[in-house]
Amino acid sequence: MSAAETRGIRFQPDETPAPALSLGLGLQIVILSLAGIILIPTIVMRAGGASESYLSWAVFATVAICGATTILHAIRIWRIGTGHLVVMGPTGVYIAVCITAVAEGGPALMATLVVVSSVLPLVLAARLPLFQRLLTPTLSATVLMLIPVTVMPAVFGLLTAVPDGTSVMASALSALAVLLVIVGIALKVTGAPRLWAPIVGVVAGSVVAAAFGLYDTDRIIEAPWIGFPTGEWAGFDLEFGPAFWSLLPTFLLVTIIASVRTISGAVAIQRVSWRRPRAVDFRAVQGSITVDGLGNLLTGLAGTVPNASTTVGASVTELTGVASRSVGIATGAILVVIAFLPKALAVVLAIPGPVVAAYLGVLLAMIFIVGMSVAMRDGIDYRKGLIIGVSFWVGIGFQYDMIYPEHVSGIAGGLLRNGVMTGGATAILMTLFVELTKPRRSQLVVAFETSSMPKIRSFLGILADRNGWGAAMAARLDAACEETLLTLLHQDDGSDVANPGRRLRLAVHREGTGAVVEFVVAAQDVNLQDRLALIGDEPGATPAEREVSLRLLRGLASSVHHQQYHGVDIVTVRVAAPMSDAD
Same domain? 457 vs 308: no
Same domain? 425 vs 490: no
Q: For 233-285, what is each residue's pLDDT tens digit?
A: 778 888 888 888 877 877 887 788 788 778 878 888 888 888 887 778 888 99
Same domain? 446 vs 389: no
Q: How far is CA 25 from CA 29, 31, 72, 394, in A?
A: 6, 10, 18, 37
Same domain? 395 vs 460: no
Same domain? 488 vs 394: no
For the four alpha carbons of 324, 328, 329 and 333, in that order, the dihedral sign comes to: positive
Identify the domain boundary among 435, 460, 477: 435
Q: Is the pLDDT of residue 541 over 60?
A: no
CA-nearest of 85, 88, 76, 68 to 326 is: 85
Question: Which helix H or strand E contains 569, and what residues bound it?
Answer: strand 568-575
The reply to whether 371 falls in a domain is yes
Q: Is the pLDDT of residue 521 over 60?
A: yes
The reply to whether 328 falls in a domain is yes
Same domain? 45 vs 160: yes
CA trace torsion 34, 37, 40, 46 (10° rounding): -70
Q: Collect all residues with Cβ–Cβ distance below 8 Å to 78 and sequence separation of at least 6.
A: none
Q: Are 294 and 71 in contact (CB under 8 A)?
A: no
pLDDT of residue 48: 81
Q: For 306-326, what is each residue's pLDDT tens digit?
A: 998 887 777 778 777 888 999
Q: Is the pLDDT of residue 560 over 90?
A: no
Same domain? 407 vs 499: no
Same domain? 421 vs 509: no
pLDDT category at 146 given cuts 50, 70, 90 is confident
Rounded to a whole number of angstroms, the CA Rg of the chain reads 26
Coil, helix or strand for 434?
Answer: helix
Q: Is the pLDDT of residue 124 over 80?
A: yes
Q: What gap in Å lies between CA 465 and CA 566, rounded to an integer?
A: 36
pLDDT of residue 539: 46
Cα atoms in the Cβ-side hemisphere of radius 13 Å centred on 522: 13
Q: Look at 154 and 537; give whichever has higher pLDDT.
A: 154
Q: What is the CATH number of the domain that holds 549?
A: 3.30.565.10
Same domain? 236 vs 149: yes
**What is the average per-residue pLDDT within 383-395?**
89
**What is the average per-residue pLDDT within 70-89?**
90
Same domain? 358 vs 501: no
Q: What gap in Å lies between CA 397 and CA 387, rounded to an integer?
A: 15
Neighbouring CB atoms inside 10 A of 12's CB total 15
Same domain? 145 vs 77: yes
pLDDT category at 500 given cuts 50, 70, 90 is low
Q: What gap in Å lies between CA 323 and CA 345, rounded to an integer?
A: 26
Same domain? 421 vs 472: no
Identify the domain boundary among 412, 435, 458: 435
Neighbouring CB atoms inside 10 A of 176's CB total 16
The reply to whether 2 falls in a domain is no
The reply to whether 54 falls in a domain is yes
Which residues is 559 bridged to in the sheet? 574
Highest mean pLDDT among 43-57, 77-91, 188-202: 77-91
Neighbouring CB atoms inside 10 A of 43's CB total 17
DSSP 267-334: HHHHHHS-SS-----HHHHHHHHHHHHHHHHHHHHHTS--EEE-SHHHHHHHHH-B--HHHHHHHHHH
Range of the domain at 82: 7-435
103 burial level (CB within 10 Å; 0-12, 13-18, 19+): middle
Q: Are 541 and 581 in contact (CB under 8 A)?
A: no
Coil, helix or strand for 84?
Answer: coil
pLDDT category at 9 given cuts 50, 70, 90 is confident
Identify the domain boundary among 409, 435, 461: 435
Instruction: Count how many domains the chain has.
Output: 2
The pair phi, psi for residue 85, each rounded to 5°, is -80, 90
pLDDT of residue 409: 64
